[in-house]
Amino acid sequence: MEYQYLFGPVRSRRLGRSLGIDLVPGNICSLNCVYCECGTTIHITRKRGEYASLSRIQQELDHYLRIKRDIDYITLGGTGEPTLHSGISAILEYLRKHHPEYKRAVLTNSTLLHDPAIRDEIKTADLILPSLDAVSDDIFQTINRPPSGITAETMVDGLIALRKEFKGKIWLEIFFIPGVNTTDEELHLLRDAAVRINPDVIHINSLSRPGAETWVTTLTDDEKKAIQSFFIEQFKNTQII
Ligand code: SF4
């Protein structure tokens, strides 16, 4: 069978051997991040829909998992924002019922998490990996280039609510661009937001492959270590990686 929506398993830095499901093929996203490895977002939207056929995803999963596979996670992600897929809860439920031996992870850019219905739809995952790259509006605009109506403040509120409601693990990712969200002021704002979100793990990340914009640069090892130390000061039980 030729897979249209499944990819991998890929060796992921955070997830080990991860079988991906692309729920939003064709760069459909609610953000247009300057560091995006998929390039410039083709279709920026907050509108949800069945961007990938639900029945086809189920068929591909059944076919691929007809024999026991050595994978750590089945990851709902892709080349855009997976919570834009209106069937995300159906896919998680399908996996739980038909392939319960595999752990389920959801990647999200956090833009829709202020909506209680969407938080409810992803609650059966084992692990949620949300992103937050800025708290100040101007830096959020510079890095994530959202459509109107999406603000960093609503994302932080959504993440705090998710933490209160979700029983699984939350691994927060913060993507740093030197000179943009690495100022003292923004680092304090991000750390304060992270304390309020209270994730299980914080991943400090920066560019490793070419992004959508050529001006985006990566953290040096020393810069990364300094940011990790800055975060560690405020956390006892959260792992900072
Ligand atoms: S949220 Fe993810 S997929 Fe969407 S533009 Fe940003 S990096 Fe790319």
pTM equals 0.96
Mean of the per-residue pLDDT values for the chain?
Answer: 96
Contact indicator for 111, 82 with CB cutoff of 8 Å: no
Lowest mean pLDDT: which of 36-40, 142-146, 176-180?
A: 36-40
- Residue whose token pair is 């959202």: 146
Angle at 144 between CA 142 and CA 149, to 5 degrees: 100
Nearest atom in ligand 1 to the alpha carbon of residue 111 is 1
pLDDT tier at 237, thresholds 50, 70, 90:
confident
- Is the confidence at residue 78, as pLDDT, over 90? no
- Residue whose token pair is 């975060």: 231
Which residues does ligand 1 sit against, CB inside 6 Å? 29, 31-33, 36, 38, 41, 80-81, 109
Nearest atom in ligand 1 to the alpha carbon of residue 175 is 7
Residue percentage of the chain with pLDDT more than 70:
100
Q: Quote the ligand 1 centre to 132 CA distance (angstroms).
A: 11
Domains and CATH numbers, the chain: 6-240 (3.20.20.70)
Mean pLDDT of 170-187: 98
Nearest atom in ligand 1 to the alpha carbon of residue 109 is 1
Mean pLDDT of 189-200: 97
Digit-coded pLDDT (tens) for 10-33: 999 899 999 999 999 988 999 999
- Is the confidence at residue 183, as pLDDT, over 90? yes
Provide the pLDDT for residue 62.
97
Helices within the chain (DSSP H only):
54-64, 88-98, 116-121, 137-144, 152-165, 184-197, 221-232
d(CA 237, CA 200): 7
d(CA 139, CA 191): 15
For a pocket test of ligand 1, which of 22, 24, 31, 106 has the largest count of ligand atoms closer than 8 A to its C-beta?
31
Provide the pLDDT for residue 236.
81
For a pocket test of ligand 1, which of 24, 34, 35, 41 has the largest count of ligand atoms closer than 8 A to its C-beta?
41
Tell me the one-letter amino acid at 68.
K
Mean pLDDT of 173-192: 98
From the DSSP assignment, how many helices (H) and strands (E) are in the chain? 7, 10
